[in-house]
Structure 1
Amino acid sequence: MVRNTIDYKSDPRSVAIGDFNNDAWLDIAVATYAADNVAIYFGYGNGTVGSPVKYFTGSGSAPSMIAVGDFDNDHRLDVVVANFGTNSVGILRKFQNGSFASQTALSTVSSRPVWIHVIDLNNDTAPDIVTANHGTHSVSVFYGYGNGSFSRPTTYFTGFDSFPLAVVSGDFNNDKQMDLAIANYGTNNVVILFGSSNDTFAKQSMFSTGPDSRPYSLAVGYLNEDAMLDIVVTCNGNNSLVVYLGHGDATFMSETTYSMGSASPYSIDIGDFNNDNRMDLVVTNKGTDNIALLVGYSNGTFASPQMYSTGSSSSISVTIGDLNRDSRLDIVVISNDTSTIGIMLGYDEFFPIQTTYSTGTAPYSVAIGDFNNDIHLDIVVANRDSTTVSVLLGYGDGFFADQMTYSTGSQPYSVAVGDFNNDNRVDIVVANKGDNTVSVLLGYGDDSFANQTTYATGSAPKSVTVGDFNNDTHLDIVATNWGGNTVSILLGYGNGSFGNQTAYSTGSGPISVAVGDFNNDTRLDLVVANFNEANVSILLRYDRGALKNKITFASGDGSRLRSFAIYDINNDSLLDIAVVNYGSNSIGVLLGYGSGTFGNQIVLSTGLNSHPYSISIHDFNKDGQVDIAVVNNGTKNLVTFLGSENGTFENQGSYGVGFDFAPLMVGVGSFNKDGRLETLVAYDGIDHVDVLVTHNIGSFNHQMKYSTGIWPRSVAVGDFNNDTLLDIVVAIYGDNTVSILLGYGNGSFANQTKYSTGSTPTFVAVGDFNNDNRVDIVVANWDENTISILLGYGNGSFANQTKYSTGSTPTSVAVGDFNNDNQLDIIVTNWNNNTISILLGYGNGLFVNQMTYSSGLSPESVAVGDFNNDTRLDIVVANTNEKSVTVYLGYPNEGFVRQMRLITGNGSQPKSFAIGDFNNDGHIDVVVANSGTNNVGIFLKYENGSFSSQIVYSTDSSPWSVAVGDFNNDAMLDIVVANHDNDSVGVFLGWGNGSFSSQKMFTTGFKSQPNAVAVGDLNNDTLLDIMVANYGTNNVGVLLGYGNGSFAGVKIFPIGCGSLPFLVSIGDFNNDGKLDFAVANGGADNLKVFLQTC
């Protein structure tokens, strides 16, 4: 992380971030305790900020904490502060130009607020305010009305001498009601107040954080991916963090404590700092000049804290966000002793999915094989300090059973596998450094092994491998003898027993051995790494199984060779050698000539003080070229070098995997039969191994971002330049344009070309309006009460707009031939005057003036289809501020003279709808997402063109988007809905008769607020999957379908902090037969395209 400091000399106490001037760049707000003001720093989008603009909070107010929220529903962020000195909450409402009004104060009566939290507690979409009160040992709740005003406070006692210092919210018992979690500094506990449907918090529970722990702040999040909220608390009294994993039923697992050493933790936040889709922790410290970052492992545990300097020994507040729009989280820290604001910009780190398994003490070497003949790969580990090997049986899905241990000789350093008695069962051989032997354990093929048989070697064997050295079809053993500077060959008899050793001289300190045919004589040769001489020895074999004198290749002064591997690295059918140079922080590649000789070493740096220890070679990215994986003992990470066909490699880049402990060994294998290699790592002195598993989730690893303009609102696709490749058009609400991005057919697009529209374009659609076989564009202009027609020239460019009047504030537009004259017409929904407009086309690009038809209140969305099978297009409109959708049936020569209103219920606020035949009668039915009444409504179409009364199915809170598809392969349509306020999607399985199952809920992530849902087969398994645009967490979630109506857990694809995705569209953008997707982002003013890579 890079630190950037802003001096501020007025005792800053708290910091929050938000886009206060709607320029899509994050800004910073600071509560300054001594100066009685709020300071706003506007961001430049590159991680730097301008000079502060200050707003007075009242004489003696002493603001102690700050938060943000849209309190008056004007889509602009407001600021709220806890005024400790004047017993009040101060609200600064934002104007359109980014400035703020004078403070409006809400009295906390006799309480001194020290903490402030903004959340919608009662599911009315209006933010509420919660304060923790120092003087009265209580918390207060101010319910928001959505117009900038609030109720009087409702106060809840937290206990005598409790001194609550922090309060946060979450649904801890899964009852769809927000609860409050409070850190009580005085009584060393956390109190949970459980919310109810009547806006009260009656029930409470309490759990201790430990004697004299002094809990100071807390945060909530999904720390172990079980869709149940967890809590993490900073304990200032004993310098620790305490993690409580939730069961989802108001109870929590026993706490896990993480020591912060000499640092006293103050403030905490949760976020994904290394883009591995797992939650990490950031903590500010008092007493040391740093903050701590704890990387999460997805199972609720965390790595040891990594410290980053702040230059201050009293960092008391932290917040996170993407300040420079690089899709990585950055950190803002307040330090009150130096009166500074510190900005730490994040950089990429990559952590694949890691699962840890216990072994014996000090696992030192690892090998793989199928030990129980179930065709699943298993693992064997040599445990140096416990005189055992551990066998972990694989389940075939990348996961393993607990270890079974078998005794060996003293200090087993290395392990290898093979079938030594020709019974088609895998056996094990171990090099025992402590008693100068190798141990052979014959496998029974049923999960178990015979007791060891030992054979003498030279002094201190450290490495072992197997091969047929005398061409008798029986496996033999070779071991390197560290203390005797030799290798020992033990020839096998094929019955599980071996002859006495034959020793051959090597260089000094032989530490590793491998086999291969280096001179193309069909006989196996040996290569040995000599640690003390910084070279490798080649021992070529005679026909009788003996070895010639060694040939030595220097690896470089001070290289201190640790390991090597043999492979055809440059695809010339000749074996090459890759060596690990511990001392010189590099690996070396020696390309073979096929005569037993090798070229000069090609050196690849592994980084300063990395001290590489072990190596493995495979094609990790499936490009047909050999790649190299190395574990670095010094820097505790794994790095990958991607190969080219000529034996050269890319410099190590953003493929690093960080560990908590110093790794010693690395190996690879496909343990879950997904066609991808998994990686095993063993560590120095730590009693476990890690398996790093890559999951095939229909990945969208290739993200491409394209600039648009300010506030992109709508997107459509079409072939605008007649090259048979799809292009994109985006309506840019903020700068009165549409952006055209021409596609190259490989999923990438040219830079945008802009064309002017009317004021605030809010929706875009396409069609051929002048019958020239070229795609044209129609745009609804919200503030100007017009639509714009842009006729296409067929080369990707467009004529200047032609405008036509509509009703007031057009929100949505669709095209179709409504009068059966084979010319495209246009329909527009007019929000403010509750009408729709029909503009009939002449077929030459011109249109008749609008005809208007009444709708329900606030028509927002429109779709067209033939609802009564009369071959004429009909129209359905969703009326947001009324409880209905309206259906208009088309009639010949008369337009839409008959309107049917479908009643969706009091306060239903229909937000979205979809159409499909839900009862298999050949008629199109309608499903509506009713955001106000938390349900979906089904309207079944009758033979005469009318619809049934609404049939309602309950959803979770605020369904915003609905789509249909067959999710359980029964040839009957099902429904999926995005529940905005409950962070979930709900699936309703159809019975084929117009009725549906109850909702089956799948989480989309904590505070995700899914805005839009789409369906498609995203991983090419012929089963429908679900995709959601998560507005709250700035990402897209994919739920892969199992074909039985259930779905895998959500997989997240980050879009970028502050992006605020609101619309997602699925299609094959690069013509590779795989579905890709595009996301429109209101916060980042861009459109992002993700190509599916596998």
Structure 2
Amino acid sequence: MHLRFVASAAAFALLSALPALAQTPSFQTTAYQNNLSGSSYGLNGHITADLNGDGLDDFISAVSPSFDAGCTGSFAVTLSKGDGTYAAPVCYDVPSGDAIAFAAADFNRTGNISLIVGTGQGVFYWFMNTGVGVLQYRGVAAGISSAPAGLIAADFNHDGNPDLATIIPGPTSTNVNDLVVFDGNGDGTFSTGPYLYFTLKQPQDIQLGDFDNDNNTDIAVHGYNGSLVLYGDGHSAFSKGTLVGGSPIAYRAVDLSSNGATDLIGTPLPTTSGRGPTTYFKHLDIQYGRTNRTFNEQYVYLKSCTPDYTPPSVADVNGDGINDIIVIEASDCQGNAPWSVNVLPGKGDGTYGPEQVIYQLGTVAFFETHVIRANRDTKPDLMFFQQSPIGPFQDLAQNTTTGNFPKCNPPLYGYDIEVCAPTATTGAASPVTFSFGASNNSLARDIEVWVDGNKIADQLKQAFSNYNFVDTTATLAAGQHHVDVYAKAWDSEVRSTSFDLTVGSNVCPKNGENINICSPILHSTLPSTVTAYARGTGDPSGITRMELWVDGAKRYSTYASDTLKTQVILTPGIHTFTYYEVMASGQILRRDVQASVE
């Protein structure tokens, strides 16, 4: 059914009289002269991923006449410079054919995101990442019998290796298509997995999700007569769901309701009958995923109509902890400029406030927004395409809103969980504050915090692009506790970290096996004055000394003591803390931990 929400003038006046609960979003926008990302071949033909491991999104797109990459090749990579700006694109060639689809994942388990490039001839090439965003061609990964209608990477069988899924489009006479899964072997090679035949008119691209919230990755396929969700069984096989939409709708897969089940949100594509006028639409179509593999449909009405192929995006852009909708609208319902990039602020009950214009530029037309992380804060940024009278541009909009955004940045480098609170395993007072930020290989889902085997938090709201966050508190009894943190992505990737925590005592306990580092916690974020605190394993009478080294330089020593505690002043960046325990017997124990200084 369709749920329609219309705000009356009286209701609006009442809402306006209430205290503001969220800031109006604001952005600082920089226009790139068509050298940031291309927009060809649908959502699978231009993607984002953190290729250089700096915790920020990079762009991968096909080189085409509509994209001025400034270099010659089949596809281009535009790397973040780490300061909110981007370097010039670098082009790469495939051995033959045209690059039309991309999938990014750690296909050979090196800790670096590499790339599978699909061509119009149905060949998939593997490009390995050196770790700094430089790609090296390594060979053919897989192949199909025709140009793919989409390409995606995920761990479909829960073996820890990224797999591939692609669509072989069928003839227009039957519209019978073929989903093909290639199971990853963890070394950049693939084995042919299950097939699934399904009927859909002219499939265009595919997206990941978990539409029934069963922790198995599903696939949404978008076509001319609607969208079809293929539900995964956790063993690389899929089954067909029911068709949703019933017409061409530019959908994006998101967890709009923040309940762990992926939803679809889209804009209906304008339609033309014969030589008659084009019909534009003045609403968003939302399909809420349910655990019984059905969908609830909702319309959200707009002030103006949406132009051609402008799938909405979703993120909490105003910092109130509720997802908002980013949508492009034209000034009228005839496709005319000026167009504007708007935010519909979420209210937390499935309804949305009136549009707030965040960017408008004369007669410039906009299309296709993307939520990214462009700088080192926890605010979702935007990238969208524009078509101006002097040619195409890409606009990078960095979020400058003052709101209650997550407090913990993801790691400065690599893909892991950063610990912002607590930063030491001793001295905690109840209620204990926990704050974590994570960087994943693919689209982020949620972060769970467990204490002593009990889940105390599951943050589904504070996630965008490949990054997720959680800030929470817990009342804990005095004594020792064990903390586990899990950061999850929609492709079944799970990252974790764990540590012991002592509440109500500043004493660093022994662990009996090795040096117990009580400060700093692994991958924690610290101020410039860092407390280094560790406890040895042996009887103090048998210990000659304990030493602290930071980044290869000795910083402190204690003698005839099993405890080392000191403070060191460090510059911003990632530092390695090395603790030594030297025994009178000549035995030397060592433990290392890395942490970041802001």
**TM-score, normalization: structure 1?**
0.32
Asked whether the equivalents of residues 209 and 215 of structure 1 are also in contact (C-alpha less than 8 Å), the reply is no
Aligned equivalent of 2:581, options 888, 891, 894: 888
Structure 1 position 45, deviation (Å): 8.4
Structure 1 position 269, deviation (Å): 1.4
**Alpha-carbon deviations, 1:140-168, whole Å to 9, x = none?**
432222122112263644324xx423211
Q: Which amino acid aligns with 1:243?
A: V
Q: What pairs with 1:1055-1094 in structure 2 (closer than 5 Å)?
A: none
Structure 1 position 727, deviation (Å): 7.2
**2 CA distance for matches of 1:317 and 1:731?**
31
Q: What pairs with 1:516-531 in structure 2 (closer than 5 Å)?
A: none
**Alpha-carbon deviations, 1:227-255, whole Å to 9, x = none?**
3322221121x2x22122222333222x2
Asked whether the equivalents of residues 87 and 107 of structure 1 are also in contact (C-alpha less than 8 Å), the reply is yes
Structure 1 position 295, deviation (Å): 1.3
**Alpha-carbon deviations, 1:374-403, whole Å to 9, x = none?**
xxxxxxxxxxxxxxxxxxxxxxxxxxxxxx
**Alpha-carbon deviations, 1:1024-1070, whole Å to 9, x = none?**
xxxxxxxxxxxxxxxxxxxxxxxxxxxxxxxxxxxxxx9xxxxxxxx
**2 CA distance for matches of 1:846 and 1:201?**
50
Structure 1 position 847, deviation (Å): 6.9
**Alpha-carbon deviations, 1:388-428, whole Å to 9, x = none?**
xxxxxxxxxxxxxxxxxxxxxxxxxxxxxxxxxxxxxxxxx
**2 CA distance for matches of 1:119 and 1:192?**
15
Q: Which amino acid aligns with 2:305?
A: G
Aligned equivalent of 1:293, options 258, 281, 286: 286
SS at match of 2:130: coil
Aligned equivalent of 1:100, options 86, 100, 109: 86
Q: What pairs with 1:706-745 in structure 2 (closer than 5 Å)?
A: 713=420, 715=422, 716=424
Asked whether the equivalents of residues 177 and 196 of structure 1 are also in contact (C-alpha less than 8 Å), the reply is yes
SS at match of 2:199: coil
Aligned equivalent of 1:814, options 514, 522, 534: 534
Q: Structure 2 regions of 5+ residues with no counterpart? A: 6-21, 66-71, 271-279, 352-403, 412-418, 438-470, 478-500, 509-517
Asked whether the equivalents of residues 330 and 346 of structure 1 are also in contact (C-alpha less than 8 Å), the reply is yes
CA, structure 1 residues 706+284, in 2 after alignment: closer, same or farther (shift >3 Å)? closer
Asked whether the equivalents of residues 421 and 433 of structure 2 are also in contact (C-alpha less than 8 Å), the reply is no
Structure 1 position 899, deviation (Å): 0.7
- Which residue of structure 2 lines up, in the alignment, with residue 256 of structure 1? 241
SS at match of 1:250: coil
CA, structure 1 residues 781+47, in 2 after alignment: closer, same or farther (shift >3 Å)? same
**Alpha-carbon deviations, 1:729-778, whole Å to 9, x = none?**
9999xxxxxxxx9x99899xxxxxxxxxxxxxxxx999589xxxxxxx98
SS at match of 1:143: strand
**Alpha-carbon deviations, 1:35-84, whole Å to 9, x = none?**
xxxxxxxxx985332222415539x9775654322222334433222223
Task: Tell me whether 1:231 sits opposite 2:219 in the alignment.
Answer: yes
Aligned equivalent of 1:312, options 296, 301, 306: 306
**1 CA distance for matches of 2:546 and 2:181?**
55
**2 CA distance for matches of 1:283 and 1:209?**
22
Aligned equivalent of 1:52, options 24, 30, 50: 30
Task: Tell me whether 1:219 sits opposite 2:212 in the alignment.
Answer: no
CA, structure 1 residues 258+171, in 2 after alignment: closer, same or farther (shift >3 Å)? same
CA, structure 1 residues 730+789, in 2 after alignment: closer, same or farther (shift >3 Å)? farther
Asked whether the equivalents of residues 179 and 195 of structure 1 are also in contact (C-alpha less than 8 Å), the reply is yes
Aligned residues: 407
Q: What pairs with 1:686-705 in structure 2 (closer than 5 Å)?
A: none
Aligned equivalent of 1:280, options 263, 272, 277: 263
SS at match of 1:838: strand
Asked whether the equivalents of residues 267 and 285 of structure 2 are also in contact (C-alpha less than 8 Å), the reply is yes
**2 CA distance for matches of 1:705 and 1:155?**
41
**1 CA distance for matches of 2:435 and 2:206?**
42
Structure 1 position 223, deviation (Å): 2.7
- Which residue of structure 2 lines up, in the alignment, with residue 833 of structure 1? 552
SS at match of 1:52: strand
Identity %: 15
CA, structure 1 residues 315+52, in 2 after alignment: closer, same or farther (shift >3 Å)? same
**1 CA distance for matches of 2:588 and 2:94?**
53
Asked whether the equivalents of residues 530 and 568 of structure 2 are also in contact (C-alpha less than 8 Å), the reply is no
- Which residue of structure 2 lines up, in the alignment, with residue 144 of structure 1? 129
- Which residue of structure 2 lines up, in the alignment, with residue 70 of structure 1? 50
SS at match of 1:50: strand
Structure 1 position 296, deviation (Å): 1.9
Q: What pairs with 1:352-751 in structure 2 (closer than 5 Å)?
A: 713=420, 715=422, 716=424
SS at match of 1:57: coil
**2 CA distance for matches of 1:70 and 1:142?**
15
Q: Structure 1 regions of 5+ residues with no counterpart? A: 3-43, 352-703, 733-740, 748-763, 770-776, 791-811, 851-857, 863-876, 878-886, 903-909, 913-1061, 1063-1081, 1086-1094
**2 CA distance for matches of 1:136 and 1:706?**
44
**2 CA distance for matches of 1:781 and 1:197?**
27
SS at match of 1:215: coil
Q: What pairs with 1:757-768 in structure 2 (closer than 5 Å)?
A: 767=506
Structure 1 position 104, deviation (Å): 0.8
Asked whether the equivalents of residues 276 and 350 of structure 1 are also in contact (C-alpha less than 8 Å), the reply is no
Task: Tell me whether 1:208 sits opposite 2:197 in the alignment.
Answer: yes
Aligned equivalent of 2:162, options 151, 171, 178: 178
- Which residue of structure 1 lines up, in the alignment, with residue 318 of structure 2? 324
CA, structure 1 residues 898+269, in 2 after alignment: closer, same or farther (shift >3 Å)? same
Task: Tell me whether 1:265 sits opposite 2:249 in the alignment.
Answer: yes
Structure 1 position 348, deviation (Å): 0.9
Structure 1 position 841, deviation (Å): 11
Asked whether the equivalents of residues 120 and 126 of structure 1 are also in contact (C-alpha less than 8 Å), the reply is yes
**1 CA distance for matches of 2:40 and 2:208?**
24
Structure 1 position 116, deviation (Å): 3.2
**2 CA distance for matches of 1:244 and 1:709?**
34
**2 CA distance for matches of 1:178 and 1:84?**
28
Asked whether the equivalents of residues 107 and 186 of structure 2 are also in contact (C-alpha less than 8 Å), the reply is no
CA, structure 1 residues 746+156, in 2 after alignment: closer, same or farther (shift >3 Å)? closer
**2 CA distance for matches of 1:318 and 1:888?**
57
Q: Which amino acid aligns with 1:48?
A: S
Structure 1 position 313, deviation (Å): 4.0
CA, structure 1 residues 305+210, in 2 after alignment: closer, same or farther (shift >3 Å)? farther
Task: Tell me whether 1:192 sits opposite 2:162 in the alignment.
Answer: no
**1 CA distance for matches of 2:590 and 2:537?**
22
CA, structure 1 residues 151+897, in 2 after alignment: closer, same or farther (shift >3 Å)? same
Q: Which has the larger radius of gyration?
A: 1
**Alpha-carbon deviations, 1:496-532, whole Å to 9, x = none?**
xxxxxxxxxxxxxxxxxxxxxxxxxxxxxxxxxxxxx
Q: What pairs with 1:1000-1039 in structure 2 (closer than 5 Å)?
A: none
Structure 1 position 127, deviation (Å): 0.8
**2 CA distance for matches of 1:68 and 1:860?**
30
Task: Tell me whether 1:899 sits opposite 2:588 in the alignment.
Answer: yes
CA, structure 1 residues 848+119, in 2 after alignment: closer, same or farther (shift >3 Å)? closer
CA, structure 1 residues 248+349, in 2 after alignment: closer, same or farther (shift >3 Å)? same
Q: Which amino acid aligns with 1:298?
A: T
SS at match of 1:181: strand
**2 CA distance for matches of 1:291 and 1:348?**
17
**1 CA distance for matches of 2:527 and 2:299?**
57
Structure 1 position 710, deviation (Å): 10
Q: Which amino acid aligns with 2:534?
A: A
